[in-house]
Structure 1
Amino acid sequence: MAERRRGVVLEQAILRAAAEELAEVGFPGLTMDRVAKRAGTNKNAIYRRWPSRAALAVAAYRQFAEGSAELPDTGSLRADVLELLRRANRQWSSPLGDVLRGLLAGLGGEPELLKELQDASSDGGSAVWLTILGRAVARGEATPEALHPRVATVAVVLLRNEFITRGVPHVPDSVLVEIVDEVYLPLIRGRGTPPG
């Protein structure tokens, strides 16, 4: 008779099963029954840990997406932003990106989970972008007025827009460079200039 799994061991089995299900059927096809069967447990064990299918999907995605590389620190805001955009582009172009897009589309009514998901995606949420921008402020490449979450994340929001509204499977590097050179850097530089 197999030993009964508990605690972290069972949790990891459930998350792994949910991640495999997400990769196979996407968020719309994810069911607690299929995850339970794949994990070799019952639905009650899942519901004790995650109150909904959406919460389980986000937790599974977070585990999948963890372990991303350290933040770039090239000494240049432009190079750091391009590296972050390129990482996000690679991830969103992968099967993991398909899962992310399905979750983003399916979590519209759950703002807390949506925020958690965005923070787990390869762009790292606003904290990552504020860190990169904060380093640029410290180097004198930007003024402190640029340190605003909406300003800091505008580049990755534009990249996300390419995937979600245009439905492209991969964004060409030339578009990333255009986002940085034509939108992001001018916005950052303009934040320190008083309105005229």
Structure 2
Amino acid sequence: MKDNYEVTSRRIEITGLVEVLQEIVEDGSKMPFSKKILVDREEVNTILDEIIQSIPEDLRTAQWVLAEKDRILTEARTEYERTKAEVDRMMQEKVNNHDLVKEAEAKAQEILSKAQTEAKLVRLSARDYADSLLSDLETEIRKKNQEMMLSYKNLFEGFVQEYNKTFTSTSLTIKENIKELREMK
């Protein structure tokens, strides 16, 4: 239960860090006559470092889940082997009682089947958890990347328009000065 809480907490932490990064971009100082903004590079890099450090922790958690699955599977196999050995011993003692032997074999098969089912459920749960975690992370990163690319595109387009306007104005002033010089006598 505690581990599940920690995983959810880290997922919330990563999402929170991405939201803080978005706020930094949205709250950045706007440059006059432009759509550009200024952000604190160190602050942005710090948040990106925290995100990068959080991701391996989630991967370690997924690895722990897989290791736990292997441990449970090993325990189930051990229990199966122990039970099977016990059944074999019981069979040797009760060879004459055919019903007892059949009951023991059925119990051994039931234990094996149960262990295999539990192992499969743990393996599938671990895979689904890791898949879900990585899919959510990929979706969030793609979304933030698209938002940042759109922001940069808008900033660049604003810069180009401002530059073109300034260039046109300067060019017009130069032409007027040339004309004025040529008209001087």
TM-score (norm 1): 0.27
Structure number with higher relative contact order (C-alpha < 8 Å, ≥ 6 residues apart):
2
Q: Which has the larger radius of gyration?
A: 2
